[in-house]
Amino acid sequence: METKLSVNINKIATIRNARGGNTPNVVQAAIDCERFGAQGITVHPRPDERHITTKDAYDLSSVVTTEYNIEGYPDSRFMKLIAELKPAQATLVPDPPHVLTSNAGWDTQKHQEELTAIIKEIKSHGVRTSIFVDTNLMNIEYAAKTGVDRIELYTGPYAEHYPINKEDAIAPYVAAATLAHELGLGINAGHDLSLENLAYFKLHIPYLAEVSIGHALISNAIYLGLENTIQLYLKELL
């Protein structure tokens, strides 16, 4: 199946915020990413606005023409954004505001009741839902019980172990993806996927619908250019 590339543009906003002003322009970056072949745009508007701001989230909503994916911790601020902007997808991550980056999946058994209510509310707005999870099969089983549409596999451990033993690194993800598909869940993936490890992941993970990539892609673009980099990532997904 085709796997879509959603470009996370948080790092574009990080560079802009370091200097102030509007360079680089986040909205223009999203437009250009789509023009260069990206099939989605992902943002994570954190409460401290250290990269994507609330204003960015609203501004992007009017220009993204592919799939707009807003990810974040489902507090009242996040839920208001989803209700008003109605992006293509809302991805729920468990990290509180002080965490530097999303580095763990949900304990879906522990949080099943609250996730079920949150997902029901988001889906009432016509928005596809996704839960950020690790490869613990229990978490995938309970994710399915919440009524969510997809899971997003946290690929940090895969990226970390890939240079050491890629067969061992991919094995739990194959098992997780297989179970998720059997339970009727769509499968996304993200975190530290790169030009070095993406093709192998795509090759071995069945039913992979979407990957969300930001840090590595924007880092590559510094050397290779944004258009060329997006094309290289798309080739890895063929």
Given pLDDT bands bounded at 50, 70 and 90, which one contains residue 95?
Answer: confident
Once rounded to an integer, what is the mean pLDDT over residues 78-103?
86
> Of these residues, 34, 44, 67, 210, which one is catalytic?
44
Q: Are strands 40-43 and 68-72 parallel, antiparallel or unpaired?
A: parallel
CA 216 to chain centre: 13
Phi, psi at 211, each rounded to 5°:
-120, 140
Query: Which residues have C-beta within 8 Å of that of residue 79, sequence separation ≥ 6?
Result: 118, 121, 122
pLDDT at 102: 60
> Of these residues, 67, 152, 191, 210, which one is catalytic?
191
Q: Does 92 have pLDDT greater than 70?
A: yes
Catalytic status, residue 44: yes
- Considering only residues 84 and 103, tell me which one the structure prediction assigns the higher pLDDT: 84
Place of tokens 């930001």: 214
> Of these residues, 34, 67, 71, 210, which one is catalytic?
71
- Considering only residues 99 and 204, tell me which one the structure prediction assigns the higher pLDDT: 204
CA angle 45, 50, 55 (to 5 degrees): 50
Q: Does 97 have pLDDT greater than 90?
A: no
Given pLDDT bands bounded at 50, 70 and 90, which one contains residue 93?
Answer: very high
What tens digit of pLDDT does each residue of 143-155 get? 999 999 999 999 9
pLDDT at 96: 67
What tens digit of pLDDT does each residue of 189-202 get? 999 999 999 999 99
65 touches 30 (CB < 8 A): no
The two tokens of residue 141 are 């089983």
What tens digit of pLDDT does each residue of 18-36 get? 999 999 999 999 999 999 9
pLDDT at 206: 86
101-127 residues labelled b (16+ CB within 10 A) or e (exposed) = ebeebbbbeebeeebbebbebbeeeeb
- Fold of the CATH domain 4-236: TIM Barrel (3.20.20)
In what helix (H) or strand (E) does residue 76 lie, and over which residues does it extend? helix 76-85
What tens digit of pLDDT does each residue of 156-174 get? 999 999 999 999 999 999 9
DSSP assigned state of 154: E
Q: How many CB atoms lie within 10 A of CB 130?
A: 28
* Cα gap 144→94, rounded to integer Å: 17
**208 residue type, one letter:** L
pLDDT at 1: 79
* Cα gap 68→222, rounded to integer Å: 24
% of residues, the chain, pLDDT over 70: 97
* Cα gap 152→168, rounded to integer Å: 20
What tens digit of pLDDT does each residue of 56-74 get? 999 999 999 999 999 999 9
Q: Does 100 have pLDDT greater than 60?
A: no
Q: Does 103 have pLDDT greater than 90?
A: no
pLDDT at 75: 94
Nearest in space to 41 (alpha carbons), one of 206, 230, 228, 197: 230
Place of tokens 């437009």: 31
Once rounded to an integer, what is the mean pLDDT over residues 41-52?
95
Once rounded to an integer, what is the mean pLDDT over residues 121-134?
98
